[in-house]
């Protein structure tokens, strides 16, 4: 068989710092991030021979020969033989010094999907571990799905679960995605944008979560390049120009730092690095800055030989330049969720320029660049799991827990995405163990993070030794303890104030699986409480009970109680329905009903309720809107904006079936809204608007276009996802500033029957 030989690959992890006074850009000018060079199998073998045994190399060559045979005649869009791609993926894995099984899986990762090779054949030829890795990397193309979204969710679920069982799956998958992104130019424009968006939304967060910062930054820049090519080129040109303009300042800082640390008796390696392009772009966008206003394009890294010297170096630097107040972070004492450790400080350098320094040891530097892959580089079977490996293992185990509690692929992916957000809050157990949770997490999230049984039986919490409710939001540095009771059980209300995927899936799992008797008892208790607030006994008259069962479609009151107990119905809505059915025969019946209605607390919604609460499609309410609720006869609640025309029309027909509804303090998902844009009928108008919507941190769900209002104007309608009215207002303001936009407004109401 032929050996495919092209230029050697370029990867950030291979680039070496050639001098303490040299600035290292994310990618050298001579080799752009889209470099696509692929090593020959001979070069790959030479690299692998540096750390693998001859017996391992023999197995890898066998895997290569099999892959080459299976892909014979197959070519990539670029025209290269397809085998060049598996070799390139294996080359990236070799840079992490992954073991022989992972390298074999990298070479074989497409044979099941593309060539219909069966798992049993791989087991027979290469062993069960390799076959399992390849199977975890293969997509589910052979299964029919209801939609592309469902198929994509199921693909991600399979990949993430395989990763949970063996982290090498995601390492090979990230190497696969990295090489595909480096060679994306060969794809059609639409496909490039889709793959780039998928990379930014899923693979970049996973790389960050696993501490693979080198790949994390490169994937960010590559996705940025294909999502916004004009902005990428403009910013790249500006950064290259700034290198010459700022070289004198940077050299002066480096020389001062080197001399000062040397005089302090510290053995250090000091280097300067450009921030990656997407990082610069994100700062410009979030803070509304021009490139010339972004002063900290360069960061400086100080690597010392021991942990105590990190703090000695910090004090020395603070003596050289004045630190900026509030710009110091100690990630050594409290590491990031992905295991990253370093001291961060921002100093006022020469000419008033803010300069960011990172101070860390050599081991911290390895972990900062390679993350969870770092332990393959320096593996020792006699060493216990590092803190990073323990954290990663705990997160991967939580994926299996969520899977065991979730049946739907989309729901599973929804839970996992919540935990991929890097913005975290750090709290302590009473024994001073650090727990990292998503921003906005509550004491109940903490309980489920410790253990599912603790969450299921939680009754209250103690934060900093003070008793608080389980829905209390946690803050950095809180010391949290959970009080439990054997009699406590999850209730549907808990779904409204948890943020972590593990907590949400565990609560839903419990509600789905509690035995019928327990569900009936819980539903009875919840309805009794709701009726008690209205001065109504749960012992209903026979006529009311019969009408209630008839209108709700249940065969017995026990079935109704069970629905409430498992979260299918809201007790407060059933209680309000019962109030409307009560036949008060006294002369002042209307006054009594009105008096009871005043005792009804507004229904609070967060967006995570079950199907018993539906946001009306006619007006698409979002947080910040004034709400009203239509209690349907099937006891579901349709939530409208107070000024919705459809709601006004329905209220005249059924005035007694409307209740007050409020938003929760912090709804924890995004909501759909409609905007209408009147735009000049010119080339590129739609693309500019769509790009600005994306830049405003919103997602487009649907686009429609009406016939031209005039020969010069076109009417565009977008369904988008936003956080609240403030987010929507900011988006509208940004779109309005685009040249060619004549008018933009939120569509408040469509004539939709509910």
Active-site residue, from 17, 56, 62, 113:
113
CB-based burial label for 222 (10 Å; 0-12, 13-18, 19+): buried
| Angular region, 489: left φ>0, alpha ψ -120 to 50, beta rest | beta
For the chain, the distance separating the N- and C-terminal CA atoms, rounded to the nearest angstrom, is 66
What distance in Å separates the CA atoms of residue 538 and residue 536, rounded to the nearest whole number? 6
What distance in Å separates the CA atoms of residue 604 and residue 291, rounded to the nearest whole number? 44
Reference 355, options 272, 280, 287, 299; nearest CA is 299
In the chain, how long is the greatest CA-to-CA distance? 97
What distance in Å separates the CA atoms of residue 247 and residue 95, rounded to the nearest whole number? 31
Find all residues with CB under 8 Å of 382, minimum gap 6, and list them: none
**What does the H/E/C string look like for 390-442?**
HHHHHHHHHHHHHHHHCCCHHHHHHHHHHHHCCCEEEEECCCCCEEEEECCCE
Using alpha carbons, list the distances in angstroms from residue 306 to 256, 264, 312: 22, 15, 10
What distance in Å separates the CA atoms of residue 672 and residue 674, rounded to the nearest whole number? 7
Active-site residue, from 62, 99, 114, 356:
114
What distance in Å separates the CA atoms of residue 231 and residue 282, rounded to the nearest whole number? 12
SS3 state at 23: strand
What distance in Å separates the CA atoms of residue 488 and residue 190, rounded to the nearest whole number? 52
- Concerning whether 113 is annotated as a catalytic residue, the answer is yes
Q: Which residues pair with 270 in a beta bridge?
A: 302
Alpha helices (H) along 97-228: 100-108, 111-115, 119-126, 128-137, 148-165, 168-182, 189-198, 204-209, 213-227
Contact by Cβ (8 Å): 175, 209:
no
Catalytic (active-site) positions: 113-114
């Amino acid at each position: 068989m032929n050996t495919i030989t092209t230029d050697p690959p370029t990867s950030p992890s291979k680039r070496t710092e050639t001098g303490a006074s040299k600035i290292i850009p994310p990618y050298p000018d001579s080799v752009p991030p889209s470099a696509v060079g692929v090593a020959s199998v001979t070069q790959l073998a030479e690299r692998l021979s540096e750390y693998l045994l001859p017996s391992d190399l023999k197995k890898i060559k066998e895997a290569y020969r099999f892959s080459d045979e299976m892909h014979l005649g197959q070519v990539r869009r670029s025209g290269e033989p397809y085998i060049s791609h598996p070799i390139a993926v294996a080359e990236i894995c070799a840079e992490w010094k992954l073991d022989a099984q992972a390298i074999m899986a990298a070479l074989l990762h497409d044979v099941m999907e593309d060539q219909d090779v069966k798992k049993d054949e791989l087991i027979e030829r290469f062993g069960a571990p390799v076959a399992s890795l390849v199977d975890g990397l293969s997509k589910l193309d052979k299964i029919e799905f209801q939609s592309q979204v469902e198929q994509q969710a199921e693909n991600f679920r399979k990949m993430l679960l395989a990763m949970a069982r063996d982290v090498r799956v995601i390492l090979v998958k990230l190497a696969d995605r990295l090489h595909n992104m480096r060679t994306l130019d060969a794809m059609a424009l639409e496909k490039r944008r889709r793959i780039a968006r998928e990379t930014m939304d899923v693979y970049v967060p996973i790389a960050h979560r696993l501490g693979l910062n080198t790949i994390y930054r490169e994937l960010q820049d590559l996705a940025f390049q294909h999502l916004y090519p004009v902005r990428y080129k403009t910013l790249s040109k500006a950064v290259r120009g700034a290198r010459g303009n700022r070289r004198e300042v940077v050299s002066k800082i480096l020389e001062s730092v080197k001399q000062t640390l040397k005089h302090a008796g510290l053995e250090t390696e000091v280097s300067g690095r450009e921030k990656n392009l997407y990082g610069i772009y994100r700062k410009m966008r979030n803070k509304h800055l021009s490139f010339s206003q972004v002063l900290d394009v360069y960061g400086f890294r100080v690597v010392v030989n021991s942990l105590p010297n990190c703090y000695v170096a910090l004090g020395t630097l603070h003596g050289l330049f004045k630190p900026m107040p509030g710009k110091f972070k100690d990630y050594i004492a409290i590491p990031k969720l992905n295991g990253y450790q370093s001291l961060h400080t921002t100093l006022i350098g020469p000419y008033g320029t803010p300069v960011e320094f990172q101070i860390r040891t050599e081991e911290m530097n390895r972990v900062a660049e390679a993350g969870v892959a770092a332990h393959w580089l320096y593996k020792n079977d006699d060493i216990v799991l590092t803190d990073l490996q323990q954290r990663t293992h705990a997160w991967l185990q939580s994926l299996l827990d969520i899977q065991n509690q979730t049946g739907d692929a989309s729901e599973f992916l929804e839970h996992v995405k919540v935990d991929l957000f890097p913005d975290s809050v750090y709290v302590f157990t009473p024994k001073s163990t650090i727990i990292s949770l998503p921003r906005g997490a509550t004491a109940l999230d903490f309980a489920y993070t410790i253990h599912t049984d603790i969450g299921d039986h939680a009754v209250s919490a103690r934060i900093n030794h003070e008793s608080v409710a389980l829905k209390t939001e946690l803050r950095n540095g809180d010391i949290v303890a959970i009080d439990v009771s054997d009699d406590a059980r999850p209730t549907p209300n808990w779904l409204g104030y948890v943020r972590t995927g593990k907590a949400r899936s565990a609560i839903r799992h419990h509600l789905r699986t509690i035995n019928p008797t327990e569900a009936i008892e819980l539903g009875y208790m919840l309805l009794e409480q709701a009726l008690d607030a209205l001065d109504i006994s749960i012992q209903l008259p026979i006529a009311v009970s019969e009408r209630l069962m008839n209108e709700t479609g249940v065969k017995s009151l026990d079935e109704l109680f069970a629905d409430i107990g498992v979260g299918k119905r809201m007790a407060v809505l059933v209680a309000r329905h019962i109030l409307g059915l009560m036949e008060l025969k006294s002369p002042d019946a209307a006054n009594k009903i009105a008096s009871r209605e005043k005792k009804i607390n507004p229904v609070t919604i967060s967006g995570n309720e079950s199907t018993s609460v539906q946001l009306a499609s006619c007006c698409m309410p979002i947080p910040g809107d004034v709400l009203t609720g239509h209690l349907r006869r099937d006891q579901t609640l349709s939530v409208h904006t107070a000024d919705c025309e459809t709601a006004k029309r329905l209220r005249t027909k059924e005035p007694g079936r409307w209740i007050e509804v409020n938003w929760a303090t912090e709804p924890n998902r995004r909501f759909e809204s409609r905007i209408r844009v009147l735009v000049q009928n010119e080339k590129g108008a739609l693309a500019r608007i769509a790009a600005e919507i994306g830049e405003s941190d919103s997602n487009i769900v649907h686009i429609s276009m009406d016939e031209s209002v005039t020969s010069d104007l076109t009417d565009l309608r977008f369904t988008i996802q936003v956080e609240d009215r403030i987010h929507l207002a900011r988006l509208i303001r940004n779109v309005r500033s685009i040249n060619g936009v004549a008018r933009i407004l939120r569509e408040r109401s469509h004539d939709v029957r509910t």
